[in-house]
Amino acid sequence: MKLDSKIPDGPLAEKWSRHKFNLKLVNPANKRKYDVIVVGTGLAGAAAAASLGELGYNVKAFCFQDSPRRAHSIAAQGGINAAKNYRNDGDSVYRLFYDTVKGGDYRAREANVYRLAEVSVNIIDQCVAQGVPFAREYGGLLDNRSFGGAQVSRTFYARGQTGQQLLLGAYSALSRMVDEGKVKMYARTEMLDLVVIDGHARGIVTRDLVTGAIETHSAHAVLLCTGGYGNVFYLSTNAQGSNVTAAWRAHKKGAFFGNPCFTQIHPTCIPVTGDHQSKLTLMSESLRNDGRVWVPKAAGDKRHPSEIPENERDYFLERKYPSFGNLVPRDVASRNAKEMCDEGRGVGQSGLAVYLDFADSIKRLGENAVRAKYGNLFDMYHQITGENPYKEPMRIYPAVHYTMGGLWVDYNLMTTIPGLYALGEANFSDHGANRLGASALMQGLADGYFVIPYTIGDYLATICPKPVDTTHPEFAAAKKRVEDRIQTLLSIKGTKTVTEYHRELGKIMWEYCGMARNEEGLKKALEMIRSLKADFWKNVNVLGTNEELNQQLERAGRVADFIELGELMVIDALNRDESCGGHFREEFQTEEGEAKRNDTDFCYVAAWEYTGENQPEVLHKEELKFENVKLTQRSYK
Amino acid sequence: MNLTLKVWRQKDASSAGKMVTYPAQNISPDMSFLEMIDVVNEGLVKKGEEPIAFDHDCREGICGMCSMFINGRPHGPKQGITTCQLHMRSFKDGDTISIEPWRAKAFPVVKDLVVDRSAFDRIIQAGGYVSVNTGVTIDANAIPIAKDIADEAFDAATCIGCGACVAACKNASAMLFLSAKVSQLALLPQGQVERDKRVERMIDQMEDEGFGSCTNTGACSAECPKEIGQHHIARLNREFITAKISSSNK
Ligand SMILES: Cc1cc2nc3c(=O)[nH]c(=O)nc-3n(C[C@H](O)[C@H](O)[C@H](O)COP(=O)(O)OP(=O)(O)OC[C@H]3O[C@@H](n4cnc5c(N)ncnc54)[C@H](O)[C@@H]3O)c2cc1C
Ligand code: SF4
Ligand code: FES
């Protein structure tokens, strides 16, 4: 199978308008004859379900939480980018496009990124019209802040709760469509498989998480808006329930998986305190606007930070990257923090932390101004660590945060299975090898509000609007496979808990496929994951039955899929003999220790095809062509 | 630390429930309350006993999913935080801690500590939105909003829909939750057109769901993890009266 990215012809700035004109349309009277399934109600899913409902399609939306409003997007803190240039500081669609391509270390598609930058301005208009309370200035107009990897202020925010406010906006639009009967909402319902008939996505198999009922739902198109897979590392900033199951099941049904090894490690998270830890808490990147990152100059300096004089501190980001300073992109900031700790200059009990210090900002702006900007983040830090960040510097360390990889999609957001789309963090599309801060919210909403409503018509217009035949044997067969898998999980009755397997997988991934990777380690990880998988299916202990709310069973299925995904991530990391963005292979670095890309051999998207149980995945390459941006060694100096 | 837990166990919506006692041993004060339950649950699974079911997701106080009634208070003893933000350093070695689900007719127990809060979604569906379709073309800055108004709307908009206000209220009223949404949209210019219809429909829906009426005890605000103020209920009442007058004049 040949990958066709369907990038439209024409000059960069005109591609999307031309494409919109060329896309086939579904006539308004016919729209209600098409059923569309939207799995996930985060920014991508809620925006898509609401917008498609408004257009007249029949939508069924699914989420595993008890309410669509609780999707993981709710937790995003810092902000959302848009090329509004309200600051008059030189921003433009082209600059946002350029920053994103560069920030992604030249591993994203130019055309997609340009479209993203183009629609970013509409997103802000849309959200304000819904009543999203973005931060404002005294004059009543919208305020902005800066984020990493950019030299302009283009980030819109709502205190430290931007994701919450944007999601509640999308949720309100979704709720309106539920009220109008255009969207039927299934909460506490988990998709466990995809139904593919004659090569096209035609439905899903779900489990009602309260009763355990396994059901099938048919549709003319299925949208996976199921978020990222950072929890493959066990500890991450993601919500506990975030998982890869929907995307992984689709992958096993024929959807290629793009760049699985591209994961983002966020530099500013609260360090791990012990084995009991269940998740890591992010301290928003926006803090790097006013906080200064430092470690003691001398290794092993265990003095209290207040006792370390100015000239014995190393503000290493400001020193190494004078033009971006504390606002270098995430991959660069994380790697540098790790380097400091590897040199023995880490701080705190474990030595696995660096300081993020607000003393200067408090002196310059006053405590109240700092509180107004970051109050809830400071409170959160205080609550978790018992330390007061107004009085002493925060301790931070990198943690797994976001996955740039995901299901491969073409320019229309369609996967390699016709009729199956992937939106938001679940797809691989716009961030290349590293995502810039405040760009995930932008991408989720762009996909849901402004891309899919156009592109889905192009597919639906080619298929007949008559109802999908649910008596097709594939529906029953898919359901049976799901039931059998659940019965297997319940019947193993081994000695190890699901959490133990998950934690073990996480350790392997963090150690060998985390912030720094090398061939030897990756090969070792491959063996370890394979034996973990074999052991899981022999020795996992899942209590209870299917016919009840059974949280162990839910997690068992997700962890089983994470184990398989982990293997593919390692294979992908081994294949990519270069360093780029979040993928840092120790063998490939510049003399100064920065990521060294290999554009001659690896300027492509790695799209992996599943070929069967215990068969090797097959690599397909989508060559990336850069017609507008010149590939250079990223420099933030 | 070593603690004794008394936890509500209930197999499903139709079974009767009861309090069951469990020891929680070797608990670190750095653990979050939910991590403490994780430890107890791991122990139960190891012994072949069913773990305690509870709702949670973000574990950082924003999704509104966690919902434990701890020692007689929703989200436990500390002000302004959710269950998942509570840390064990807020308890003492040897403490006995009781843990129950939210109790309200409109929030039936699903299992153990898990309740059904879908009534909240239906209240929002009854008008907790501005009716704009995707694709508006007015520039965002064409709608200036004074900072103090925007800030007050924001305070209301921070409601996480957890339901602690209902659990705290002796009448199981949902007025604080409702008022947060009504207040947000009543303050903003975007919310004006549908102002009257919104409040009337949302109140009707709340009554249909079986929530109790508000007698201004203030327990809701006191226990709200986002500290949504009582004055939003006052605004809701004004909105409702204005809407009633204007609809009876029509
Ligand atoms: C702590 C934190 C802070 C962040 N801050 C920012 C920020 O400031 N700016 C920014 O741009 N980005 C930020 N991000 C990233 C951003 O929040 C996410 O990438 C984005 O919200 C993902 O949205 P989504 O719609 O793709 O998926 P999600 O919001 O993760 O939603 C996934 C949905 O899929 C559903 N689902 C998943 N699997 C299934 C299944 N099998 N069956 C049924 N339903 C399923 C879930 O129920 C949920 O509704 C942050 C992320 C984190 C973790
Ligand atoms: S008003 Fe407060 S207590 Fe009630 S649902 Fe909202 S956040 Fe929870
Ligand atoms: S788990 Fe999300 S608020 Fe507690």
Give tens-digit pLDDT for A200-230: 999 999 999 999 999 999 999 999 999 999 9
Structural domain includes residue A566: yes
The answer to whether the CB atoms of B141 and A239 lie below 8 A apart is: no
The answer to whether the CB atoms of A69 and B64 lie below 8 A apart is: yes
A542, HSE (Cβ side, Cα atoms, 13 Å): 28
- Which residue of chain B comes nearest to A131, CA vs CA? B190
CB pairs under 8 A between A and B: 213
Specify the pLDDT at position B250: 65
- Which residue of chain A comes nearest to B54, CA vs CA? A551
Distances (CA, A) of A466 to A34, A53, A166, A202, A476: 8, 18, 36, 12, 20
pLDDT digits (tens, 9 = 90+) for A339-382: 999 999 999 988 999 999 999 999 999 999 999 888 888 988 99
Residue B22's contacts (CB-CB under 8 Å, 6 or more residues apart) are B4, B5, B7, B40, B44
A613, HSE (Cβ side, Cα atoms, 13 Å): 2
Specify the pLDDT at position A5: 97
- Give the nearest ligand 3 atom to B63 CA: 2
The answer to whether the CB atoms of B45 and A173 lie below 8 A apart is: no
Distance CA B118, CA B115 (A): 9
Q: List the single range of A81-90, A319-328, A369-378, A472-481 with lowest mean pLDDT.
A: A369-378
The answer to whether the CB atoms of B85 and A380 lie below 8 A apart is: yes
Percent of chain A exceeding pLDDT 90 equals 91
Distance CA A319, CA A322 (A): 6
Structural domain includes residue A26: no
Substitution target from B54, B57, B113 for chain A, most A beta carbons within 10 A: B57
pLDDT digits (tens, 9 = 90+) for B116-137: 999 999 999 999 999 999 997 7
Please say if the pLDDT value at position A259 is more than 80: yes
Structural domain includes residue A424: no
- Conformational region of residue A470, where left means phi above 0, alpha means psi within -120 to 50, and beta covers everything else: alpha
Q: How far is the CA of A103 from the centre of ligand 1 (A)?
A: 21
Q: Where are the beta strands (DSSP E) in A374-432?
A: 394-403, 406-407, 420-422
Specify whether the CB–CB gap between A110 and A117 falls below 8 A. no
Please say if the pLDDT value at position A390 is more than 90: yes
CA-derived radius of gyration, chain A: 24
A420-422: strand order across its sheet = A183-186, A58-62, A35-39, A221-224, A420-422
Structural domain includes residue A262: no
- Cα–chain-centroid distance for residue A403? 4
Substitution target from B35, B63, B177 for chain A, most A beta carbons within 10 A: B63
Q: Say if residue A371 is in the same domain as residue A479.
A: no
Specify whether the CB–CB gap between A31 and A55 falls below 8 A. yes
The answer to whether the CB atoms of A125 and B139 lie below 8 A apart is: yes
Segment A276-284 shows an average pLDDT of 91
Tell me the domains of chain B and their CATH numbers. 3-103 (3.10.20.30), 117-248 (1.10.1060.10)
Q: pTM of the full predicted structure?
A: 0.97
Structural domain includes residue A220: no
User: Which ligand is nearest the CA of B66, by number?
Assistant: 3
> Among residues A81, A112, A90, A160, which one has the least CA distance to residue A6?
A112
| Residue A214 φ/ψ, nearest 5 degrees | -95, 125
Domain end marker among A352, A375, A399: A399
User: Which ligand is nearest the CA of A75, by number?
Assistant: 1
Structural domain includes residue A573: yes
Specify whether the CB–CB gap between A553 and A489 falls below 8 A. yes
User: Which ligand is nearest the CA of B86, by number?
Assistant: 3
Q: Say if residue A280 is in the same domain as residue A394.
A: yes
The answer to whether the CB atoms of A497 and B45 lie below 8 A apart is: yes
Residues of A with CB below 8 A from B145's CB?
A: 136, 140
- Tokens 């995809």, residue? A194
Distance CA A71, CA A93 (A): 29
The answer to whether the CB atoms of A380 and B128 lie below 8 A apart is: no
Q: Say if residue A383 is in the same domain as residue A479.
A: no
Instruction: Say how many C-beta atoms besides its own lie within 10 A of residue A550's C-beta.
Output: 24
Token pair, residue A444, equals 């989720």
Structural domain includes residue A170: no
Please say if the pLDDT value at position A595 is more than 80: yes
pLDDT digits (tens, 9 = 90+) for A396-447: 999 999 999 999 999 999 999 999 999 999 999 999 999 999 999 999 999 9
Domain end marker among A399, A430, A448: A399
Specify whether the CB–CB gap between B136 and A126 falls below 8 A. yes
Q: Which amino acid is at B233?
A: I
The answer to whether the CB atoms of B129 and A173 lie below 8 A apart is: yes
Closest approach of chain B CAs to the CA of A444, in angstroms? 14
CA-derived radius of gyration, chain B: 20
Run of H or E including A231: none
Please say if the pLDDT value at position A603 is more than 80: yes
CATH number at residue A581: 1.20.58.100
Token pair, residue A487, equals 């019965």
Distance CA B29, CA B26 (A): 10
> Among residues A138, A131, A198, A176, which one has the least CA distance to residue A158?
A131
Distances (CA, A) of B57 to A242, A587, B69, B84, B249: 8, 38, 17, 9, 47
Substitution target from A142, A168, A210, A284 for chain B, most B beta carbons within 10 A: A168
Specify whether the CB–CB gap between A393 and A356 falls below 8 A. yes
Specify whether the CB–CB gap between A607 and A620 falls below 8 A. yes
* More confident of the two residues A149 and A371: A371
Q: Say if residue A391 is in the same domain as residue A486.
A: no
Domain end marker among A361, A384, A399: A399
Distance CA B169, CA A168 (A): 25
Q: What is the mean pLDDT of chain A?
A: 96
- Quick check: B190 contacting A, CB < 8 Å? yes
Query: Which protein residue's CA is at the shortest distance from atom 6 of ligand 2?
Result: B159
Token pair, residue A168, equals 């509640």
The count of residues in chain B is 250
Closest approach of chain A CAs to the CA of B152, in angstroms? 10
**Cβ B164 under 6 angstroms from ligand 2:** yes
Distance CA A618, CA A612 (A): 10
Closest residue to B129, CB basis, from A74, A135, A172 = A172
Ligand 3 environment, Cβ below 6 A: B 56-59, 61-66, 82-84
Residues of A with CB below 8 A from B139's CB?
A: 125
pLDDT digits (tens, 9 = 90+) for A508-535: 999 999 999 999 999 999 999 999 999 9
Q: Where are the beta strands (DSSP E) in A336-389?
A: 354-357
Distance CA A594, CA A150 (A): 19
Specify the pLDDT at position A478: 98
Distance CA B1, CA B17 (A): 28
- The residues of A annotated as belonging to the active site are 330
The CA angle B12-B18-B20, to the nearest 5 degrees, is: 115
Structural domain includes residue A207: no
Q: How far is the CA of B63 from the centre of ligand 3 (A)?
A: 5
- Quick check: B76 contacting A, CB < 8 Å? no
Distances (CA, A) of A401 to A78, A279, A582: 13, 11, 11
Q: Report the domain count for chain A.
A: 2
Please say if the pLDDT value at position A135 is more than 80: yes
Residues 8-67 of B with CB under 8 A from A: 11-12, 28, 30-32, 34-35, 38-39, 42, 45-46, 48-51, 53, 55-65
- Quick check: B136 contacting A, CB < 8 Å? yes
Would you say the ipTM is above 0.90?
yes
Q: Say if residue A280 is in the same domain as residue A371.
A: yes
CATH number at residue A346: 3.90.700.10
End-to-end CA distance of chain A: 43
| Residue B94 φ/ψ, nearest 5 degrees | 90, -5
Residues of chain B below pLDDT 70: 250
| Residue A226 φ/ψ, nearest 5 degrees | -100, 10
Distance CA B177, CA B210 (A): 14
Query: Which protein residue's CA is at the shortest distance from atom 3 of ligand 3?
Result: B61
Q: Which amino acid is at A162?
A: T
Token pair, residue B198, equals 């919104």
| Host domain of residue A552 | 473-599
